[in-house]
Structures are given as structure tokens and as C-alpha cells.
Amino acid sequence: MHAISRDAPALYITAVAKDRLSVFQTNTIKVIACKAFDEARPSGGFAIYAYVLMPDHFHAITDSFLKPSKVIQYLNGIISRRVIDHLKERGHNASLQKLQRESGTRGHRYSLWDHHSNVLPIFSEDMFMQKVNYIHRNPLRADLWKKLKTIFGRVLESGSVVRLKMNP
């Protein structure tokens, strides 16, 4: 991990699904999104220190070696491509219809994201840990851990949900 400073901040990114749709509800879509995070990291050449998928948005902490707009382009672009391709391949037309938009200059018919992602620079290790703890507690505050507990059982009996993705 790089040293966090005013010259080299970490980035706290929030991206919200179009119309706040609960896109990340099924395990299949969650796995697709997590694999897309893993794909975006080496493709863009940036580090992802922590992230969490919530039903209608995600939070991520990354380094700042790329411009924030480029990091968002990689994360949102790869996640949306993988999710939309999955919906098309499986014939989930009702879901696709909710993501439909007017065809833009590049001819895209669907959009997974609200196009106002939020980026907050993190200048200190204290702020970094505050955001990591927020990411860690976000599913707990939303009572999502109860659903996960039935899936993962003993791992979550302690009430702890690990949502950190550390780079090797």
C-alpha cells in the first residue's frame, strides 16, 4: 500500500445504480461484480484496498495513481459490461428494460449507473481507517449480515462481516 498524503491520497468512491435499483441482490450478480472488481484492478493498474457491494451501490477505496475519473471508468465500465452481458445472455428482459436509456453517442442502450459517482480524497491514515470501518459496517447497519449469516453460517456468527479486498 502506498503512503497516504496530500500529494498521494487514497480515493473513497461511491457509485449508485441507475434509479437506485437494487441491482446487487442475487448471489450471481454479486459474484459477477466482485470478479469485475478483480478484473478492473490489473486492467487499470490501480490498487483496491477495500470495497463493499450494497443492494443499489458500492463503496471502494483505491489508490490515486490514476485520475479519479479513470478509476471510475474502469470500475463502473467493467462491472456494468459484465452485469448487462449476463442479463442479455440469460434473457432477463424485465431487468434490462429497467436499465434502458436513450441511445447515446456510443450507441449504448443500457446504463447500470447513475452518472454522478462521488469521489472523496483521503489524506490521512485516520481518515482511511474511518472509511474502511464504514465499508466494513455498512452491511451490518443495513441488516444485510442476517441474510449473509444464513449463507455463510459460522463465519458470521461473531457478527463480523469481512468486506475488505486487499491487494497481494
In a domain, 167, yes or no: no
| pLDDT score for 9 | 95
In a domain, 163, yes or no: no
Question: Domain with 38 in it: what CATH number?
Answer: 3.30.70.1290
Pairing verdict, β 10-16 and 48-53 = unpaired
Segments of 24-82 assigned E as strands: 48-53, 57-62
In a domain, 55, yes or no: yes
In a domain, 95, yes or no: yes
| pLDDT score for 88 | 95
Domain region containing 132:
10-156
In a domain, 86, yes or no: yes
| pLDDT score for 143 | 65
Structural domain total, the chain = 1
In a domain, 91, yes or no: yes
In a domain, 5, yes or no: no
Q: What angle do CA 8, 168, 74 make, to 5 degrees?
A: 60
| pLDDT score for 153 | 38
What span, in angstroms and rounded, lies between the C-alpha atoms of 14 and 141? 17
One digit per residue, the tens of pLDDT, for the chain of length 168 reads: 678 999 999 999 999 999 999 999 888 999 999 999 999 999 999 999 999 998 999 999 999 999 999 999 999 999 999 999 999 999 999 999 999 887 666 667 899 998 778 999 999 999 999 999 998 888 777 666 555 544 443 333 434 334 444 433
- Helix, strand or coil, per DSSP, at residue 159: coil
In a domain, 25, yes or no: yes
